[in-house]
Structure 1
Amino acid sequence: MSADQLRETQAILRAKYDNLCAAGLKLDLTRGKPAADQLDLSEPMLSMPGEGHHVSADGVDCRNYGGINGLRGIREIFGELLGTGTDRILAENNASLQIMHDLTVFALLTGTPDSERPWSKETGPLKFLCPVPGYDRHFSITEQYGIEMINVPLNPDGPDVDACAALVASDPAIKGMWVVPTYSNPTGTTVSEDVARALVAMPTAAPDFRIYWDNAYAVHTLIDEAPAPLPILDLADEAGNPNRVYVFGSTSKITFAGAGVSFLGSSKANLDWYSQHLSIAKIGPDKLNQLRHEMFLVDADGVRAHMARHRALIAPKFALVLDILEERLSEAKIASWTAPEGGYFISLDVIDGAAARTVQLAKDAGIALTAAGSTFPYKNDPDDRNIRLAPTFPPIDELATAMDGVATCALLAATEKLLERD
């Protein structure tokens, strides 16, 4: 468009935006939370295990102390779903994020089984590789403890292996990296086997380099069947780096988001080291909650069937968002977006320099979005481009109103940016 055409378009969009503001909206697309109807799917668990049903299949009285590794039955289910097997996975309480946090703190205080010294005793700042865009809560852990974060590109098949390999080969301060291997947050990227093999095999200057393999969306598919989990621990064994990978997962978006079960899979050396530290802090996890999950989900196929019921509720929401983006933004060519096959997010890229303005316009109109920059370390998107959309939580009629409003805000912000350049 010419400058005059842009100004005419901006006036039309401004009038539409003023009407949006006048509507008094209060809509929230900030976090990837299950909606109430999704949580209702697990309501039968609230009556489990029931009086007289407190002993697990392997004879554990779940009312009592002990069992630092968690119940074998729930480990069997998620050992299959996460590709670790039963004997290389621990079951803990509701938050896998807490396990990630604790592993980092334990390494800082005492070092890992492969460390020459505690991470906190290393000379100079520690560093982590962060594929971007990525998960803000991952970045919060490393930022909290002063670990420098290095952006690496996230390609359609996973982290840029060449960039990662070049960085870790020569810098012993790089102690780890974040990876979401299946339906990543926010782009929906799934790591290929070739990329996974390269990550576990690449030479690293730090002997205690760790990959935080957060498979949070392993079964959260929007299509008929989720990809099979990569046997990442086996791949690490084959590469001669058995201790390199920590595998994480949870039931947080499978059953109850705040009352689920979390998992850590890794080598025996890593699990023994973690359990030793954990046994100082507690005597065991909530085994009654693990038992009710085991009873409710039954087996891996039971989880898959349960997730199909989730998919029936949320797939229409994703389809709606994609339809609105296509209808409102495709012709203007001021944005691009992902069409994920699973996970909880859609990643929207607006024109460079317009993301923060789009989010602010939406906020002023009563539509809350995740803050611009949140998908990058230090909340700093160098291109001010990326916006994470979370379609699952609002009712579908509210979602339609919110996304139409977001499209208006993106278009208005684009006209402002283009006129500035002109």
Structure 2
Amino acid sequence: MSLLDLDADQRAELLARVRQDYEELKASNLNLDLTRGKPSSEQLDVSHELLSLPGEGDIKDASGADVRNYGNLKGITDIRQIWADLLGIKLEQIVAGDASSLNIMFDLISASYIWGTNDSERPWSAEEKVKWICPVPGYDRHFTITEKFGFEMITVPWLEDGPDLNAIREAVKDPQVKGMWVVPMFANPTGQSVSADIARGLAEMETAAPDFRIIWDNAYAVHTLSESFPTPINVLELAEQAGNPNRFWHMASTSKITHAGAGVSFFASSEANLAWYLAIAGVRGIGPNKVNQLAHARFFHDAEGVRVVMRKHASLLAPKFRRVLDILESNLGEYDIARWTTPEGGYFISVDLIDGTAARVVELAREAGIKLTEAGSSFPLHDDPNDRNLRLAPSMPPINELEQAMKGFTTCALLAALEKLEA
């Protein structure tokens, strides 16, 4: 029964009960955290063997080069081949770096801002204005990068099959629109994936800016919650077929596969884009941590080895996601005050509440000892115009703490909705 279907007396009775539940929640002296999508200790333990790899005496990559020395900006073939196989792209289209693909994304935009891309008429800093397309809800750290450079961020809705292609086609008619963010598989925070039709449309669409770039951040390409793995879309091939070979900057990493702070990052793109990037990267440094790359290659062996590891992650994550969804349904479903995504992979669940209540839910939860990601975090400048969206991150807490946090969250959501209706 929707809250809107309750008469005044029924609503008052429910409000009194929920307020009592909330007071009991506060009296529990909780200290729970649902703010970030970090792997749990159990997930990190899956890759504990890495700490002993590549092992004493194992110092050479497939080419015979000593990985302890300088050089090889592209990274070692051993790990690049594994990720090329996982992503369904050619070996020559991918380079391997250090732990964070976010660092590479920042470097790509920095270089474009200072010098321009290989297709730019001038540095982006010399443009009257740079605009960037941001599908929402989206990844807060992406938005922080474009915020830092002062780009004007254009929001487009994230639909069930990906970002709104019609809105994007309209936006890219402006030559000041230089790029966009996309998390194509099990997106942050919705857990939904870009369809083949949307990907093809992004590859083929005409853009006014010749140096328009799509950062295709495939951070969750193998982060399934089941035994099966979706086939990644080869956007590099689609773009080449469409006559736009330089359009995509394709990112990936091992960050939530092995050790989140000590993994390997990947950048895949056209030959021209990689040549442009490596010429700058060669000034910035003398090569990545190839010892760590070799350790990862020895740990995985091949692409199927990565899938074996990710099935172990799924066995740890899936019960947590199921429990969150069960509690949302059992505690909020009957009142029709929230909508949430049901991801088949990734690290997050996106929840839309009654307009004007998301910030209040965060405030109520904080007072009850439950930390939530701040309202608006999934929007540029933390500005959710409807104050409705919140992101839940089930991965880190033990399941008993997760259950406590979710029961508290649903109490806060219901209380905020009733307060809104009373007002």
| TM-score normalised to structure 1 length | 0.98
The reply to whether residue 150 of structure 1 matches residue 154 of structure 2 is yes
SS at match of 1:347: strand
User: What stretches of structure 1 of length at least 5 have no aligned partner?
Assistant: none
* Counterpart Cα distance in 2 of 1:417 and 1:226: 42
Tell me the amino acid that sits aligned with residue 93 of structure 1. Answer: D
The residue that corresponds to 1:34 in the other structure is 39
Residue pair 1:82, 1:215 contacting (<8 A) in 2 also: no
* Counterpart Cα distance in 2 of 1:80 and 1:240: 24
The reply to whether residue 163 of structure 1 matches residue 167 of structure 2 is yes
The reply to whether residue 352 of structure 1 matches residue 351 of structure 2 is no
* Counterpart Cα distance in 1 of 2:86 and 2:124: 32
SS at match of 1:397: helix
| Deviations 1:169-202 (CA, angstroms, capped at 9, x unpaired) | 2x10000000010000010111111111110111
The residue that corresponds to 1:317 in the other structure is 320
The residue that corresponds to 2:412 in the other structure is 409
* Counterpart Cα distance in 1 of 2:12 and 2:269: 58
The residue that corresponds to 2:260 in the other structure is 257
The residue that corresponds to 1:108 in the other structure is 113
* Counterpart Cα distance in 2 of 1:27 and 1:227: 33
Pairs aligned (count): 418
Give the percent of matched residue pairs that are identical in Structure 1 and Structure 2. 58
The residue that corresponds to 1:223 in the other structure is 226
SS at match of 2:339: strand
The reply to whether residue 273 of structure 1 matches residue 273 of structure 2 is no
The reply to whether residue 47 of structure 1 matches residue 40 of structure 2 is no
Q: Which moved more, 1:8-17 or 1:134-143?
A: 8-17
The reply to whether residue 390 of structure 1 matches residue 361 of structure 2 is no
Q: Which of the residues 291, 296, 300 maps onto 1:293? A: 296
| Deviations 1:320-366 (CA, angstroms, capped at 9, x unpaired) | 00110011000011111111000000111111111110111111111
SS at match of 1:331: helix
Residue pair 1:83, 1:232 contacting (<8 A) in 2 also: no
* Counterpart Cα distance in 1 of 2:7 and 2:111: 59
| Deviations 1:275-313 (CA, angstroms, capped at 9, x unpaired) | 111111110000000000000011100000110000011
* Superposition pairs of residues 93-104 of structure 1, within 5 angstroms: 93-104=98-109
The residue that corresponds to 2:21 in the other structure is 16
* Counterpart Cα distance in 1 of 2:89 and 2:269: 8
The residue that corresponds to 2:211 in the other structure is 208
The offset of 1:83, in angstroms, is 2.7
| Deviations 1:61-80 (CA, angstroms, capped at 9, x unpaired) | 01100011001110001112
Residue pair 1:129, 1:150 contacting (<8 A) in 2 also: yes
The offset of 1:153, in angstroms, is 1.0
The reply to whether residue 172 of structure 1 matches residue 168 of structure 2 is no
Tell me the amino acid that sits aligned with residue 262 of structure 1. Answer: S
| TM-score normalised to structure 2 length | 0.98
The reply to whether residue 306 of structure 1 matches residue 312 of structure 2 is no
* Counterpart Cα distance in 2 of 1:166 and 1:280: 38
* Counterpart Cα distance in 2 of 1:260 and 1:83: 21
Residue pair 1:214, 1:247 contacting (<8 A) in 2 also: yes
The residue that corresponds to 2:140 in the other structure is 136
SS at match of 1:162: helix
The offset of 1:54, in angstroms, is 0.9
The residue that corresponds to 2:339 in the other structure is 336
SS at match of 2:355: coil
SS at match of 2:390: strand
| Deviations 1:40-70 (CA, angstroms, capped at 9, x unpaired) | 0000110111111011122120110001100
Task: Say what the alpha-carbon RMSD is for the aligned residues.
Answer: 0.7
* Counterpart Cα distance in 2 of 1:132 and 1:311: 26
* Counterpart Cα distance in 2 of 1:395 and 1:45: 24
Residue pair 1:82, 1:249 contacting (<8 A) in 2 also: no
Tell me the amino acid that sits aligned with residue 231 of structure 1. Answer: N
| Deviations 1:191-245 (CA, angstroms, capped at 9, x unpaired) | 1111111101111110000000000000000122121010110000000000000
* Counterpart Cα distance in 1 of 2:192 and 2:394: 17
Tell me the amino acid that sits aligned with residue 373 of structure 1. Answer: G
Residue pair 1:336, 1:350 contacting (<8 A) in 2 also: yes
* Counterpart Cα distance in 2 of 1:382 and 1:102: 30
The residue that corresponds to 1:400 in the other structure is 403
User: What stretches of structure 2 of length at least 5 have no aligned partner?
Assistant: 1-5
The reply to whether residue 188 of structure 1 matches residue 175 of structure 2 is no
* Counterpart Cα distance in 2 of 1:50 and 1:197: 44
The offset of 1:85, in angstroms, is 2.0
* Counterpart Cα distance in 1 of 2:229 and 2:133: 27
* Counterpart Cα distance in 2 of 1:223 and 1:158: 21
Tell me the amino acid that sits aligned with residue 205 of structure 1. Answer: A
* Counterpart Cα distance in 1 of 2:209 and 2:77: 34
The residue that corresponds to 2:62 in the other structure is 57
